[in-house]
Amino acid sequence: MNKKAFIFDLDGVIVDTAKYHFLAWQKIAQSLHINFTHEDNELLKGVSRVRSLDIILELGNVQASQEDKDKWLIQKNEDYLSYLVDMDESEILPGVFKTLQLLKEKNQGIALGSASKNARPILEKTGILSYFDVIVDGNDVTNAKPDPEVFLKAAQLLHIDPKNAIVFEDSVAGIQAANIGGMTSVGIGEETILHEAQYIFKDFTLIDESFIDKLIN
């Protein structure tokens, strides 16, 4: 059986930490008298923390010094981390654990490719850190998606050619990054949003062994 690189995004793919990001950003926005909605939050998917703050400030037409921005970025991360304290395996999205087990049984390379700088503690708290051969997160890359750097680095560390890599993503920027990197893109979410992906599933419960075998062979 061929060995491929299966690369997973974190937020919205393995765990639903997006809700915690939203609450932390909303708290910052409210302190600046900016109305920040769930619809606005869609603009932040797959985007770095620095760019996310800029988007929120643009929404409120707020000008800020770099000193204030740095302060708010630290505050946002502290608020976000406070929500993660009680995370456990119940936070893993449906079907993900089964897919990881299946890939492990088939001796496939498994990597995380995420913009999150808190990836390791999240994987530890949810009990699945040991499933990942390689972790590439926001601490390891300089270019945000749709730049494919995070996925290319993960494939490189697994010693797998990018054309033999499969990326699971829930954001448009992430799908674009996989496609730009010459990888197979699998969208997890809504078809109307992720239509650039080569394959699209509502969630991992719809991904079965025959599909995994098709990707491997």
pTM: 0.85
Per-residue CA distances from 74 to 20, 25, 116, 172, 205 (Å): 15, 11, 14, 26, 36
pLDDT above 80 (res 9): yes
Residue 123: exposure state from Cβ atoms within 10 A (0-12, 13-18, ≥19): buried
Confidence of residue 122 (pLDDT cuts 50, 70, 90): very high
Tell me which H or E stretch contains 103.
Answer: helix 96-105
**What pairs with residue 111 in β-bridges?**
7, 134
Q: 11, 40, 140, 161: which is the annotated catalytic residue?
A: 11
* Percent of the chain with pLDDT strictly greater than 90: 87
Cα 209 to its chain centre, rounded Å, is 23
Encoded tokens for 106: 């088939």
For the question of residue 68 being annotated catalytic, the response is no
Mean of the pLDDT values across residues 161-179?
Answer: 96
pLDDT of residue 2: 86
Sheet with 199-201, edge to edge strand ranges: 134-136, 109-113, 5-8, 165-169, 184-188, 199-201
pLDDT of residue 1: 61
Encoded tokens for 89: 């395996």
For the question of residue 9 being annotated catalytic, the response is yes
**Biggest alpha carbon distance in the chain?**
57
Q: Classify the C-alpha dihedral 7-11-13-15 as positive or negative.
A: positive
Q: 9, 16, 86, 133: which is the annotated catalytic residue?
A: 9
